Amino acid sequence: MTHTTDRLLTVEEAAERLGTGIRFVRRLIAERRIAFVKVGRHVRLSETVLTAYIEVHTVQPARRVRSSYGSAA
């Protein structure tokens, strides 16, 4: 749930923050993969929702495990 004090971002601002094109953000909205707010005919995204989307889709680096296979005896 978003707070009323959250700043609402335009699609253009959200795309800039994600480092993507506007079409990508519009596709997220059309496919209902991200929560959005309708203000009349305008679409806005909450900063909190966008931050949560980034956190959920952040992939942590894999930890490499050294194998003993192939090591010198």
Q: Could you read off the pLDDT of 30-62 as tens digits, one per residue?
A: 999 999 999 999 999 999 999 999 999 999 998
Sign of the C-alpha dihedral, residues 34, 41, 21, 51?
Answer: negative
pLDDT the model gives residue 68: 67
The residue count of the chain comes to: 73
pLDDT tens for each residue of 9-31: 999 999 999 999 999 999 999 99
| Residue closest to 12 by CA, chosen among 29, 25, 28, 2 | 25
pLDDT class of 7 with cuts at 50, 70, 90: very high
Residues 6+ apart with CB under 8 A from 72: none
